[in-house]
Every structure is written in C-alpha cells, then in structure tokens.
Amino acid sequence: MLRKRLLGAVVVRHGWAVQSFGYRRWLPLGKPECLVKNLDRWGADGIVVLAIDRGDQGPDLGLLERLGALGLSTPLTYGGGLATEEHARAAVSAGCERLILDTVLSHDPNAVAAMGRAVGVQALVAALPLVRKDNGEVLHLQYTTGAQASLPPSIRQMLTTEQVSEVLVIDAMGEGSSQGFTSELLDTVQIHTALPLLAFGGLAEAFQISTLLSRPQLAGVVVGNALNYREHSIGNLKAALTDQPLRLHRAHRDP
Amino acid sequence: MSSGRLTVGIVDYGVGNHTSVLRCVRQLGFRPRISPQPDQLDQADVLLLPGVGAFPTAMERLHATGLAGYLQRAAQLGRPLIGICLGMQLLAESSTELGFTPGLGLIPGAVEAIGEPRWHIGWNSLEVAEGQPLLHASDGEVMYFNHSYAFRGPETFVAARSRVREGSEPLVAAIQRGSVWGLQFHPEKSQGPGLELLERLIQAGGER
C-alpha cells in the first residue's frame, strides 16, 4: 500500500537557502545544495525546493542544474517561476520529478493545461497558500501582491477537474513557526477536491504531524526549518511516527 | 559493445528526465552514453528508455527521431532494453492517455487510466511475481511511483505489482518479455532499493 510521505523543504531566495518566517523575513542557512544533499542522505521521501524570488524570471534552471549534478536518489519537486509549458519541460529535463505551480494557477489556466500535456498531469502540484482569519474564514494569499481573497474560481475548477495531481496546502501564517499547522485549511480544500493533499507550514513536532497524517486524504507533510538543525532529522522524526504507515529508509548497499 | 564496464545507452528522444537517469547510471558504476543517434546507441550493452510526460507526445518524438523503429529492431535482435515509468508504458501496444495512440508494441498489453483512486503517487511496495529471479530480492521493497495510467496485459508478462490500498486491485509495477523490461516506478529515485534493482537488471542484460 502507498506510504504516507515525509518530505523535506528547502526555501531558496537569491540563490541561498533561507529559513523563512511567513515569507516575510528570512535567515540565511547556506548553500541549497548542502541542505538538499543532507535530505537525500537522510532518507526524505521527497525533497521540495521552493525558489521564492523568481517572479516572472522563470524557473531557476541554474539551481536545478546544480542540484541535478548531486546525483540525488530522492524525488525532487520544484516550485518557483513556473509559468509556461517550456518552463515545465526545462525543469523536468533538469531533473525534477514534480513541479509546484502557484501564480500561474490563477493567472493562466491555459498554461497549466499545456504543462499537463507536456510533462503529464502527474507531475503538477498546485500550491495553495491559505490564511485562516479570526472569524474562521479561509482566504487564498497572493504572495506577489499580499492580497487575500476567496479561492479564485479558476483554481476551484482546476481542482475539481483534476488538472493537477496533488495540492500543497500551505499555512501561510504558520510557515516558519513551530506553532502547528491550521488543520481547518485542509477542511476548506477538501470541499473542493478529492485530490491527495500535502500540508506545509508550522510543522515540526511528531504529534502534530501524526494527527495530520491520520487524515485519509493527506498523502504527506512537508517539513522545512525543523529538519535543518539536526543530523538525520528525518530518521528521528520517522522513528517518532511509528503509528503512521511510513517508509523506512534504506541506502544503497555498495557492491 | 564495450569490454569491462558495461555501457548503458540512454535513449534521448527529448522527453523526460534524462539527467536523473544519467547520474544514476554513472553512480552505479556503469558507463552512460546518452544519445538520440542509433550509431551511438549501437555501442551500448544495455538500452535504457526513460520518460516523464504524456504518452502521445513521447510516441510522436520517437517516430520523429526514427527511434521507434530503432527500438523495435533492437528488441527483435534480443538487445537488452529497460523502460522506466513512461518509458515502460511506451513498450505496450497502445495507450488511451489523451486519446488512442499506438505504442512500440514490444510487450502485449495496453496502457489505461488507473481508475479509482486516479493517482498512484508516492512510495509503494512491490509484489514480485513467481519465476522472476532477477526481481526476487526486491520483493516487498518500497519504490517511488508517479503515474495515473497503468499497463494492463497478459499475466505472463507481469513481473511485479503494487496495490494502492491493502486488498485493492493490483497495478502492474514491472513487465518483462525476453530481454525487454519495463519498470513503472522510478528506480533512479527509489534510493537504495531502486538502485540495487536497476543495477541487477543492467548487469544481467550486459551478461546476456
């Protein structure tokens, strides 16, 4: 049976891996290659690289080439600047298995469909940064403008018709903290789609992660900052999640 | 053909994740040769057909580059060929992804939508079929899958399966006909278990 996934995230800004606090403040951590290599060695179920400064510059192919040169044996998912079919092809060619789409979801749904034809819908993940207001309302956050609004109809339709294969639900306020993921965000997204979900933002503690992974529709969690400060943090976290159907890492046995 | 280290010809038809496969082959100690040119691929001991994307686009590229005929002739000659993910699906007779498209027809069977659930994404264990000594050591190992279409065909060509849920209908995870192999999962992204399985298949192919 399919295992639940524990994915490690590396947030990149101006070429450097950073610890992000709600995408408002950043603390430099070092070279992205070093962090990605660690996640590969430690047996993450996937590595998510988010280049948050791309805007309309397209994907960071230089970064992807450097990551490709590492010879990773862990699936790599990339987000940042992906806006066209050509971007999608180039990112996959550079070694990405999956692509995270954000702004393009609402700005150019036709481009999303073209990407699906080019690299396969199974490669496309929709990123939904969400905010829960004090009155309980859940709003979609546009990082580029800071605007908060209801989920755009184009995105709702994309989820209903499954033009992507998974949804990365981001707790935009919890991101960078360890206060926990706002589970109501998942409730809101589940109304619109039966797609598998991934949760990201504010996740650090095993009990928080275990609670989320118990939800049938949740395929995995993405953990960022919490993984970067301890050796073999993935293995340690998995060891504390024995109640969940997770995969145990096994490295390649040298001949 | 090479002497000593085996040469793996990675078929470059402009679709997919050739970089990952190239690094993986090199990491395993084989000599990779990535090319769209038949005369270059002729130098390889084992051919590897990777692929990420949609079936019709991939077949269109294989025909446009003349590689479809090349791969069919190579299989007829008994040359070892390993298809990965979409590369495995291309070995089938046809696919219904984005409409009906004929495949390479190297292994009897068709590629169809998975059904419910629609997606098979993530890590899943292999159930290796009887009489598959090369895969035997991988029985129960967990590999990385990422697909929404799957091979359906005669049991005799099914080498391994996986189930999305316990008790659910199995999906074909690996196929084999003679020296032609198809792996629905990504061995190059399945860490130790995937690398070891790919290593065995390449090694065995090179020894034929």
- The answer on pLDDT for A254 being more than 60 is no
Taking contacts as CB-CB distances below 8 angstroms, the residues of chain A near B16 are: 92-93
Residue B3 — pLDDT band, cuts 50, 70, 90? very low
- Dihedrals phi, psi of B115, to nearest 5 degrees: 105, -130
Of A162-166, A193-197, B107-111, B167-171, the poorest mean pLDDT is in B167-171
pLDDT digits (tens, 9 = 90+) for A33-85: 999 999 999 999 999 999 999 988 999 999 999 999 999 999 999 999 999 99
Residue A221: partners with Cβ closer than 8 Å, 6 or more residues away: A5, A6, A7, A181, A198, A199, A200, A203, A209, A212, A213
DSSP annotation string for A57-106: S---HHHHHHHHTT---S-EEEESS--SHHHHHHHHHTT-SEEEE-HHHH
Q: Sign of torsion, CA A100 A127 A17 A147? A: positive
- pTM, to two decimals: 0.94
Mutate to test the interface with B, among A2, A92, A119, A159 (most CBs of B within 10 A): A2
pLDDT score for B2: 46
Contact B201, B181 (CB under 8 A): yes
The larger pLDDT score, comparing residue B115 to residue B34, is at B34
Instruction: Report the residue of chain B nearest A40, measured CA to CA.
Output: B191
Cβ within 8 Å, pair B142-A3: yes
Choose the closest CB to A251 out of B24, B189, B192: B192
Active site residues of B: 85, 186, 188
pLDDT score for A255: 47
Cβ within 8 Å, pair B54-A120: yes
* CATH superfamily to which B7-207 belongs: Class I glutamine amidotransferase (GATase) domain (3.40.50.880)
C-alpha to C-alpha distances, B4 to A125, A136, B115, B132, nearest whole angstrom: 43, 67, 46, 26
Cβ within 8 Å, pair B17-A5: no
pLDDT score for A170: 95
Q: Sign of torsion, CA A172 A176 A182 A187? A: positive
Taking contacts as CB-CB distances below 8 angstroms, the residues of chain B near A162 are: 118
Q: Which of B90, B182, B207, B190 is nearest to B138 (CA)?
A: B190
DSSP annotation string for B132-192: -HHHHTTTT-EEEEEESEEEE--GGGEEEEE-SSTTSPPEEEEEEETTEEEESS-GGGSHH
Domains of chain A: 5-239 (3.20.20.70)
pLDDT digits (tens, 9 = 90+) for A16-36: 999 887 677 888 999 999 999
Domain ranges of chain B: 7-207
d(CA A204, CA A206): 7
Quote the minimal CA–CA distance from A82 to chain B in Å. 16
The first and second tokens of residue B146, run together, are: 């990422």
Taking contacts as CB-CB distances below 8 angstroms, the residues of chain A near B142 are: 3, 247-248
